[in-house]
Amino acid sequence: MAQTQTPPSRMPLGAHAHAPDLPASDGHLVARALVMRYGSEPRRADERADGVAVDVPALGGVDLTIAAGESVAVMGPSGSGKTTLLHVLAGILQPTGGQVLWSGRDLARLGDAERTRLRREDFGFVFQQGMLLPELPAVENVALPLMLARTRRSKAVARATALFEPLGLAGLERRRPGELSGGQAQRVAIARALVGRPGVVFADEPTGALDQVTSAEVMRHLTSLTAHTGASLVVVTHDENVAAWCSRIVRMRDGRIESAEVRA
Ligand SMILES: Nc1ncnc2c1ncn2[C@@H]1O[C@H](COP(=O)(O)OP(=O)(O)OP(=O)(O)O)[C@@H](O)[C@H]1O
Ligand SMILES: [Mg+2]
């Protein structure tokens, strides 16, 4: 269907469309002055025009506010800090400096158990290769996060099954990942990310292994389902066509946000 290949048209909106500093309450994800230096990272030094070497950390002071229900594409050259930013926002990596606030709570101030619970229940993840368990049928892959969170098996499977139809996967519930196409497997991974009804879905190059048509199909499902559930979406991508599905594009360079563009 040709229609599935193009994102809905976006109208440029006025400055009121996105306030860069929304309050940190009601489910917003806020990053303040994030700095990340990896312990083992060889210091990268860039030369300024005047010949002075400048240290370049993986993140060099990133401010970003993601509103509830907003979809943000993070773009930028390889090594610019996109994955690092995603992992810091998701509480997977502890930043060297700065803060991440989720619903007004500073991730660094949470205990390990609480941070783990939050990652499991409030955040969903989609990776470049779905990372599905090959021996489990698709529906059980989707139900797994709920079962790990001690939801009853029948309830977990019922909730997982309910996601197959809206993702265009009806009838594929019992297939194992090896019996699915790349795009189908990636939609199963999206179902798994959404099954716990997270407040934010993080996706790192979710279409990196897919062709253009399949990528568009995956993005259509990802953006429509997150919009439907009110989840925010943060997508790292190299592909402008993928980014075009998001309401905002943030461009990184050398660990900093170079520019941000509101698309809708
Ligand atoms: N675990 C690590 N240890 C040391 N340095 C790291 C580590 N992970 C990333 N880096 C460095 O941090 C910088 C940012 O890396 P990052 O993975 O965030 O980039 P990226 O924008 O996601 O790149 P790509 O598009 O290639 O995935 C790079 O200079 C990288 O070498
Ligand atoms: Mg990366």
Q: What is the pLDDT of residues 211-253, one digit of tens each?
A: 999 899 999 999 999 998 899 999 999 999 999 999 999 999 9
- For position 102, what pLDDT does the model report? 93
Q: 22-66, pLDDT tens digit by residue?
A: 333 344 899 999 999 997 555 555 655 666 656 679 999 999 999
Q: Which helix (H) or strand (E) holds 115?
A: helix 112-121
Question: What residue's CA is closest to ligand 1, atom 29?
Answer: 79
| 81 DSSP 8-state letter | S
Q: Nearest CA to 73 among 255, 224, 223, 229?
A: 223
Question: What residue's CA is closest to ligand 1, atom 18?
Answer: 81
What's this model's pTM, rounded to 2 decimal places?
0.85
Question: What residue's CA is closest to ligand 1, atom 26?
Answer: 78
Q: How far is the CA of 75 from the centre of ligand 2 (A)?
A: 10
Distances (CA, A) of 119 to 91, 193, 197, 223: 7, 11, 12, 20
Q: Which atom of ligand 1 is nearest to the CA of 236?
A: 22
